[in-house]
Amino acid sequence: MLQTLALTHFRSYENGLFEFKPGVNIIVGANASGKTNLLEAIHYIATMKGFRAHDKDLVAFASDWFRLEAMTDDGVRVAKYRLEPLQKTMDIDGETKKRLSSTHSLPIVVFEPDHMLLLGREPERRRSYMDAILSLTTPSYKSDLLAYKRALAQRNRLLKQESFSSEQLFVWDIQLSQKAGVIATARHALVQRLNTICEEKYQSISASKEPLVITYESNLKLDSYADDLLTYLRDNVVKDRMRGFTGAGAHRDDMQVVLKNTDARVSASRGETRSIILALKIAELELLHEQTGKRPLLLLDDVFSELDGSRRRALAEALQDYQTFLTTTDADVAVDHFSHYNIIPIQKD
């Protein structure tokens, strides 16, 4: 649990000190008052990165550094960042770290209005959704994903050159296919777990008995993914070179959601879509709790106003066991759904 958070030169906060309670903390303020910046600070102290902005953009205007200090149930955490010379550290009970492993990160779930587009036509959103969960629950996943992205960038760079040797390309083909196999296997296992959880959540939220099925979607067989990708890369060099990028791999896969035996990405109504996304977010909370043994922090950035009454009630019921930070311009939208809550007013400068 997060007990206190002090901000110095962080976004719109020259100085700020906040105290939080277990359960629901309702952060109330006008637009552009700094509500989301506070959530960004909470996310940073938990994971050593923001959920929207790059590190350099988290520094307050006319400053070249920021500092966050938090008291949690596990001890004191101090994040420090400086632009010139570049320095980025996190002190956890006096031990300095330059990056956080999944062991030292605090599990955290973000739910913001953009996530309502999760079932849109951009598969990158769904890949990012899977990757974010796995980066917090699987110790080696983040490094495997970074290695995959580096290999993909190097291979695509070669494809754009006027000439290159088959040996040069083969080096990256091997790395790409091996890491892709690891990533696809992890994502598939995650999607199977989501599929187990989400149908019941969806039916409860939507008050329906419609079947919901979630699968991992790829043009490659999952039981021979690395070998099949290596074969594809070898056999499609000319095609990949003509289009200037690699046409298969983990960066092309997707998560498919089927509702009533139809692809929800193209057929779900607005209400059905919101119920599915809410079910996925609740499942994300439960999965992180299950995998890490810690109750995740939940950040709700102006999302309550995006939901109708029944979905607000479903979300309120799901998050009652988690420390929650909810931003809103109107506290009345939220308070009726909780028996206990802490109001944190934010004054616009």
pLDDT digits (tens, 9 = 90+) for 85-127: 999 999 999 899 998 887 888 999 999 888 889 998 899 999 9
Q: What dihedral angle (degrees, nearest 10) is formed by the CA atoms of 102, 103, 106, 107?
A: 60
Q: Is the peptide bond before 85 cis (omega within 30 degrees of 0)?
A: yes
Query: How many CB atoms neighbour CB 185 within 10 A?
Result: 16
Q: What dihedral angle (degrees, nearest 10) is formed by the CA atoms of 214, 218, 224, 227?
A: -160
Query: How many CB atoms neighbour CB 139 within 10 A?
Result: 11
- Write out the two tokens for 320: 């009652």
CA distances in angstroms from 334 to 49, 115, 272, listed in the order given: 28, 19, 22
Helices marked H in the chain: 35-47, 123-137, 141-160, 166-206, 225-235, 237-243, 264-267, 270-292, 309-318, 332-335
pLDDT at position 139 is 82
263-322 pLDDT, tens digit per residue, is: 998 899 988 998 999 999 999 999 999 988 999 999 999 888 888 888 888 888 888 889
- DSSP assignment of 40-90 equals HHHHHHHHSS-SSS-GGGGBPTT-SEEEEEEEETTEEEEEEEETTTTEEEE
pLDDT at position 316 is 87
pTM score, two decimals?
0.88
Rounded distance between C-alpha atoms, residue 271 and residue 263, angstroms: 15
First and final CA of the chain: distance in angstroms? 29
In the numeric block, the tokens 């006096």 are attached to: 94
∠ CA 57-60-62 to the nearest 5 degrees? 110
Rounded distance between C-alpha atoms, residue 322 and residue 108, angstroms: 10
- Write out the two tokens for 164: 């290159």
pLDDT at position 349 is 60
Residue 23 in contact with residue 341, Cβ under 8 Å?
yes
- Average pLDDT, consecutive stretches of 10 residues, N- to C-terminus, the chain (349 residues): 97 96 94 94 95 94 96 94 96 92 88 90 94 89 96 94 86 97 98 95 89 96 96 94 94 96 91 92 92 92 85 85 93 85 86
pLDDT at position 121 is 86
Residue 193 in contact with residue 222, Cβ under 8 Å?
no
The identity of residue 209, as a single letter, is K
Q: What is the DSSP letter of 98?
A: S
Give the pairing type, strands 75-82 and 65-72.
antiparallel
Nearest partner of 106 among 282, 294, 277, 272, judged by Cα = 294
